[in-house]
Amino acid sequence: MKAYLDIVKNILENGEKKTDRTGTGTMSIAGTIFQHDMKNGFPLLTTKKIPFRLVASELEFFIKGITDKKWLQDRNNHIWDEWCTPLKIPYAHDEETKKKMLEERDLGTIYGWEWRHFGAQYKDYKTDYTGEGVDQLKRMVEMLKTKPDSRQMLVLAWNPMDIDKAVPPYCHYAFQVTVINNRLNLFWNQRSVDVALGLPFNIASYATLLHLLALETGLEEGILTGFLADTHIYLNHIEGLKEQLARDPNKYKLPQIKTNNFKSIFDWQYTDSEIINYESYPRIPFEIAV
């Protein structure tokens, strides 16, 4: 997608060097916008291969409000392996702490838990939080069905009471939907944007969420927009992104998404959705900054 590659190019040309939490170092810009109309296809990058299975299983994990990373590992998804809640292991960079974080399965008050239980008191990943806190996602679905013209359909992950209970704390911290001319549009807000590794996943994840909410409500799929604040490239990702920029974004058409046997977003499993006619350039390896 040209919109993604334009962000990469902008940072490489205009970004400023900046230190960061991980100690890796970044090139950063002060804000940009990603936008894509879903009628033009599903926004899964074609200039490198993106594993939709990982995107979709993480989204199911969020929708269900789960905080046990073993749920992901049991589905061969390891994108949260290096993290855990500071309530169990205080965050640090040394190898001993990293090993403990790897072994701890409790992720704490991450995205989906706040989506489904905002304001509840977090205890641990084993606790049943049914009926506790505000179920923001359920409220959004109900409003879409009963008050589709509302401009109050927001879900927040950023809870100031919980920011010390999850690492990293809510990079994409809120999303909103609107309905215009029977089309469902989704906007997400992101305070910190890892362009090489994170942003392609964020784009595909929120596109899938838009798709599911449209199925839930019978609306058409509209425009996906990301409001991106500190948008950065880690210094050890620059060469890989230069390689990606050299690839022709028009070589492969965007794929389509298809969901089978849909009943409800709350019953959806990641295996219900598939990407149709996805072709891309090969994967580009990027090292995660922890």
Contact 107, 83 (CB under 8 A): yes
| Nearest residue to 284 (alpha-carbon basis) of 242, 248, 250, 233 | 242
Cα 154 from chain centroid?
A: 16
Contacts of 45 (CB under 8 A, 6+ apart): 1, 4, 200, 203, 204, 280
Whether 84 sits among the annotated catalytic residues: the reply is no
Contact 18, 30 (CB under 8 A): no
Catalytic member of 171, 199, 209, 241: 171
Contact 59, 209 (CB under 8 A): yes
Alpha-carbon Rg for the chain, nearest whole angstrom, is 19
| Nearest residue to 108 (alpha-carbon basis) of 192, 170, 155, 57 | 170
User: Cα dist. 124→5, 42, 86, 90, 132 in Å?
Assistant: 40, 36, 12, 15, 14
Token pair 């950023």 is found at 158
Q: What is the dihedral of CA 7, 212, 265, 165, to 10 degrees?
A: 10
Q: Which residues are catalytic?
A: 171
